[in-house]
């Protein structure tokens, strides 16, 4: 039987253990607290096919920041939430992230209905919010950084190109919420300037699959080109019905404003090949910065994964926020928002700049033709352009009244109510 340790040695060992434990607790307490940020996207519902990849690109950027030492020496911790393709859910989840999770910045949303629903919560909290999508404009917020294009950086240049190269008679089709409705108004106004002709205009509920009546109207109208602002899974039904009706891309091409590589990979490109989309970024862009971005994304999410414009814009937003926090020396929201106005970042699409007056990025308008493999051949691009959130033709008040009229007409919501099964 081993002899017991002397009492003095037992006491010393106990004291040593207490000291080690106290040191560990002190070291834990001295570690800088993580910087919590919210990532809010539709992981379910009709918009999930588009938004899950955008969430992934956001998380990739956060992982890169942490691998490089974090922000202000603090690890960035992402709190994710599902907006479920619904504006009221987006608002509820944004409030939870802000009030319960105590996030210091918010990244996310796709539809303008979700963004506009979230905006009041963001502004009440004075929270930096980075939105990755092209949108209708008509927004002037001190807390929203728009990383996607405004209509003068995407929609209107595409209309100019289409009227010149595809024909003057155009048919507008979109989902029935604020972005497509305002985009339709902008296109109608612009057609008068470029001497185009409106052949027809129709809107479908988000998530709709019954598209036959709209396709029949397009066939009867015989337009030269279709301008498509449909979002989410409705695109599958719509383009399949076009082809079934004999409306081929070679005969009546469509230009889409919310359809990119991720959707084409999910839907399959067969019904879309030969049509067009307008964006600032395509995966097929040349350059080392873009090739490296695609490779990093594929290493993280799989060799067959694709990148697209909203994903790239989301990635930019995270890095612009991190630079602003570092420049401010704090995550205090007002200081971050002041610092973000001076930021630029060498992104996959090229160097981007935050316009200090509008909190929008300078973007390069580009138009791509969809290839059979779901990638894009860039057929046209312009110089980098500053955003014009409030287009000419109406005053800021006039645009606000137009948007407010839609909101009230939809029962104080930013998208039309769905009546019965979509």
Predicted confidence band of residue 39 (pLDDT cuts 50, 70, 90) = very high
Residue 20, pLDDT > 70, answer no
First to last CA, the chain: 81
412 burial (CB, 10 Å; 0-12 / 13-18 / 19+) is exposed
d(CA 40, CA 114) in angstroms, rounded, equals 10
Residue ranges of domains in the chain, CATH in brackets: 35-149+286-364 (3.40.50.2300), 152-284+388-409 (3.40.50.2300)
What pLDDT, on a 0 to 100 scale, did the predictor assign at position 127? 97
The residue that leads in pLDDT, 31 or 317, is 317
Residue matched to tokens 């607290």: 33
Q: In what order do the strands lie in the sheet with 106-108?
A: 76-82, 35-41, 106-108, 129-131, 144-146
Q: 3-class SS at 130?
A: strand
Lowest average pLDDT, out of 7-16, 19-28, 46-55, 289-298, goes to 19-28
Q: Reduced to 3 states, what is the DSSP secondary structure of residue 197?
A: strand
Per the CB < 8 A criterion, the answer to whether 399 and 390 are in contact is yes
Q: In what order do the strands lie in the sheet with 197-204?
A: 197-204, 169-175, 225-229, 254-256, 276-279, 366-370, 376-381
Which residue in 112, 204, 187, 115 sits closest to 151, CA to CA?
Answer: 187
The pLDDT of residue 28 is 37
Cα–Cα distances (Å) from 136 to 88, 172, 196, in that order, read 20, 15, 21
Percentage with pLDDT > 90 across the chain: 89
What is the DSSP pairing of strand 254-256 with strand 350-353?
A: unpaired
The answer to whether 368 touches 154, Cβ cutoff 8 Å, is no
Q: Looking at per-residue confidence, does 94 or 3 come out higher?
A: 94
Q: Can you point out the beta strands (E) in 295-381? A: 344-347, 350-353, 366-370, 376-381
pLDDT-above-70 percentage for the chain = 92
Res. 421 pLDDT band, cuts 50 70 90: very low
pTM of the predicted model as reported, rounded to 2 decimal places: 0.90
309: CB partners within 8 A, 6+ apart? 134, 148, 260, 279, 280, 281, 282
Residue 4 is given by DSSP the state P
pLDDT digits (tens, 9 = 90+) for 216-234: 999 999 999 999 999 999 9
Give the pLDDT band of residue 392 (cuts 50, 70, 90).
confident
How confident is residue 24, by pLDDT bands cut at 50, 70 and 90? very low
Average pLDDT of the chain?
93
CA dihedral 255, 256, 261, 265 (to 10 degrees): -100
Contact residues for 213 (Cβ-Cβ < 8 A; gap 6+):
none
């Amino acid at each position: 039987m081993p002899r017991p340790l002397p009492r003095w040695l037992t006491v010393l060992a106990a004291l040593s253990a207490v000291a080690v434990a106290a040191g560990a607790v002190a070291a834990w307490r001295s570690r800088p607290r993580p910087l919590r940020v919210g990532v809010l996207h539709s992981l379910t519902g009709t918009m999930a096919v588009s938004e899950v990849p955008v969430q992934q690109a956001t998380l990739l950027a956060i992982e890169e920041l942490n691998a490089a030492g974090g922000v202000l020496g603090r690890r960035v911790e992402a709190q994710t939430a599902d907006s479920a393709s619904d504006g009221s859910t987006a608002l509820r989840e944004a409030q939870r992230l802000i009030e319960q999770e105590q996030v210091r910045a918010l990244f996310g949303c796709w539809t303008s209905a979700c963004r506009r629903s979230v905006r009041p919560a963001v502004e009440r909290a004075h929270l930096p919010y980075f939105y990755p999508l092209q949108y209708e404009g008509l927004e002037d917020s001190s807390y929203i950084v728009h990383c996607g294009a405004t209509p003068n950086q995407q929609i209107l240049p595409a209309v100019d190109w289409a009227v010149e190269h595809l024909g003057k008679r155009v048919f507008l089709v979109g989902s029935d919420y604020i972005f497509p409705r305002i985009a339709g108004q902008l296109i109608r106004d612009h057609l008068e300037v470029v001497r185009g002709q409106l052949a027809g205009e129709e809107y479908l509920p988000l998530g709709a699959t019954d598209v036959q009546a709209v396709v029949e109207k397009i066939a009867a109208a015989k337009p030269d080109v279709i301008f498509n602002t449909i979002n989410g899974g409705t695109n599958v039904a719509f383009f399949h019905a076009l082809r079934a009706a004999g409306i081929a891309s070679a005969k009546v091409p469509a230009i889409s404003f919310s359809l990119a590589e991720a959707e084409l990979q999910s839907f399959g490109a067969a019904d879309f090949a030969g049509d067009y989309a307008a964006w600032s970024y395509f995966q097929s862009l040349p350059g080392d910065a873009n090739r490296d971005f695609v490779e990093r994304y594929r290493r993280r999410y799989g060799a067959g994964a694709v990148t697209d414009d909203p994903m790239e814009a989301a990635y930019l937003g995270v890095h612009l926020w991190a630079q602003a926090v570092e420049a401010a020396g704090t995550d205090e929201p007002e200081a971050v928002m002041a610092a973000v106005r001076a930021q630029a970042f060498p992104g996959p699409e090229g160097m981007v700049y935050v316009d200090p007056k509008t909190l929008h990025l300078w973007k390069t308008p580009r138009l791509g033709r969809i290839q059979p493999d779901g990638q894009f051949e860039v057929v046209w691009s312009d110089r980098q352009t500053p955003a014009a959130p409030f287009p000419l033709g109406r005053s800021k008040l006039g645009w606000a009244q137009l948007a407010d009229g839609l909101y009230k007409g939809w029962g104080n919501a930013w998208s039309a109510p769905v009546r019965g099964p979509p």
